[in-house]
Structure 1
């Protein structure tokens, strides 16, 4: 005796003679509608998406909105568009689908749904797995490709960050004096070129240590290295954050001071530096006593600014300070004609 009931009586019967398990396996996102538009069966994936929402027994158009093509509001409209691609959404869950409707032998409709290009978001939103799709559905392969791409892109991004970090670290090392942590000659040349090109006022201070060789000769190079590190700390403490302090030779330093050309103020800075360096330094129980001399020049003295010319002039002023007795600062005095 056949106990199958009519589709519009609310009993979940499989359409077109297929068993329920077969339909669920072949089309896990299917709906079966009676001739009157009542949902009589739904695939397990739709049940998962509409968790807490009973689909079976409800009117299809109460739960779903067909957005494209337009004007599909009753069963006759759906039947008239069988075989056409449908765009629809589940009103209460906000899920969007692509679908294809076909009539069955009882006058109802089998509607097979998929997510289309929104599958990745749908999987994430509803916690779906490959078990929620038909075994032959290319969606599963698409999901694997998406996951592989995400993993590869993530690894490439991390690799790129490591490479950028390594590059930045290498660039920093290339511009840093390893003993003192100050900038080196290359960093000074680059900064000077940028400052000259920007056509902004600046000063250069060339500083040389006095009696440093005696420390090396008497106490050894370890003591000399200690003195240089202390000098670097004095220079950093007595200059501004935007100034560049570079060690350009064994005991030679150059300071680039942007936006500062007042010789009185520059002399005060140089005097503080010289006084700090003159303080006794203790290494391994031995006192190291050195001094410093400095030469200054400012960009406002030059009609045409040339970094090399200015460095030479600061060097000239430095040796004038040494000849004048050391432990002092002198500013470069140009010839009467402008440079």
Structure 2
């Protein structure tokens, strides 16, 4: 459609100053659509389409005729695009002169903006700064949104690194570096949690027999290998819910949650002792160790105390050592229940 020199000049100015606009003729059909508005519709061809086919005027309510629209000149219009995304926009309509010549006579210019929906519109229609007038505040909002996104992503990455470092530091603080088992600090935390709760548990103090002879004969590197093999064997012979901690050179503590039966503790202790008597291959030979175990059960105490149970299990352990090693003793308040006497003259 020919708009004439004046009309073409007007269109060029509008495309530059407010690229998201529509020029309507007197019949309410689109004579021209700004480049940004055309981008909001899939086919981009809006020429000669009716206003009502492109926009739903939500407020103020009118019959949609051009005469009714021209009466809303200067008012804030709330519209919705008649498209797949039904994006909501704001608009203002400015009537064109009635005494002009050509197709612009009796028409109007409808200028649009996204309002607070700018960020979603930029995402939905892949808009860039070139789709807005250079003086449009939307440009600054886009820069602010982009800067905020970059800052938030950097903050998220930093938080993830800090959280990972924190978890790694906590894990290291509660882990025995040689065996990968829990350490004494972790054991103290577990005992505090268990004794403050209502779950029964058993505690076994495990001490290796003849470990000094391994270091003396094969060297400390072989001794470290034996400790690692012992740790792996103990993990294999216990449940995933059980906690095993290395609390000294060749001293270990095993926590058995939900275990309150002396007989069951005795069976577990005997199985561990038998497993730890298997020969262990070291780089320069084969060695053997065994274990003595002292145990205490929280169900034997009116008010369980982690420190008291550790002390009582330790006394039971020394009793097992005195009986010849390679056996277990379970502490009770007045007497002790022990496994079979397996001294056999062992030292």
What are the within-5 Å matches in structure 2 for residues 1-339 of structure 1?
11-12=2-3, 18-71=9-62, 73-93=64-84, 94-106=86-98, 107-335=106-334
- Report the TM-score, using the length of structure 1 for normalisation: 0.92
Tell me the residue number matched to 1:7. none
| CA deviations over 1:57-76 (Å, ceiling 9, x no partner) | 12212321111122352223
- Change in CA separation of 1:168 and 1:17 when aligned onto 2, cut-off 3 Å: same
- Report the TM-score, using the length of structure 2 for normalisation: 0.90
Task: Quote how far apart the aligned CAs of 1:319 are.
Answer: 0.6
Answer whether contact 2:293 2:320 (CA < 8 A) is retained: yes
Distance in structure 1 (CA, Å) of the matches to 2:208 and 2:279: 14
The number of residues matched between the two structures is 327
Distance in structure 2 (CA, Å) of the matches to 1:42 and 1:171: 62
- Change in CA separation of 1:210 and 1:17 when aligned onto 2, cut-off 3 Å: closer
Tell me the residue number matched to 2:339. none
Answer whether contact 2:218 2:284 (CA < 8 A) is retained: no
- Change in CA separation of 1:79 and 1:37 when aligned onto 2, cut-off 3 Å: same
Unaligned runs of 5+ in 1: 1-9
Task: Quote how far apart the aligned CAs of 1:108 are.
Answer: 1.8
| CA deviations over 1:186-228 (Å, ceiling 9, x no partner) | 0000001001111210000001111111111222111111111
Distance in structure 2 (CA, Å) of the matches to 1:190 and 1:209: 24
| CA deviations over 1:114-139 (Å, ceiling 9, x no partner) | 11111121122112211111111111
Tell me the residue number matched to 2:341. none
Distance in structure 1 (CA, Å) of the matches to 2:146 and 2:34: 25
More displaced 10-residue stretch of structure 1: 211-220 or 91-100: 91-100
Answer whether contact 2:208 2:289 (CA < 8 A) is retained: yes
Distance in structure 2 (CA, Å) of the matches to 1:54 and 1:262: 83
Task: Quote how far apart the aligned CAs of 1:77 are.
Answer: 2.4
Answer whether contact 1:11 1:40 (CA < 8 A) is retained: no
Distance in structure 1 (CA, Å) of the matches to 2:182 and 2:277: 22
Distance in structure 2 (CA, Å) of the matches to 1:21 and 1:140: 21
Distance in structure 2 (CA, Å) of the matches to 1:65 and 1:71: 11
| CA deviations over 1:21-80 (Å, ceiling 9, x no partner) | 222111111111122212212111111212315322122123211111223522232222
Task: Quote how far apart the aligned CAs of 1:17 are.
Answer: 8.1
Task: Quote how far apart the aligned CAs of 1:87 are.
Answer: 1.0
Unaligned runs of 5+ in 2: 99-105, 336-347
RMSD over equivalenced CA pairs, Å: 1.7
Distance in structure 2 (CA, Å) of the matches to 1:182 and 1:157: 32
Indicate the SS of the match to 2:153: helix
Distance in structure 1 (CA, Å) of the matches to 2:95 and 2:26: 9
Task: Quote how far apart the aligned CAs of 1:110 are.
Answer: 1.1
| CA deviations over 1:80-131 (Å, ceiling 9, x no partner) | 2211111112213423211011112133211111111111211221122111
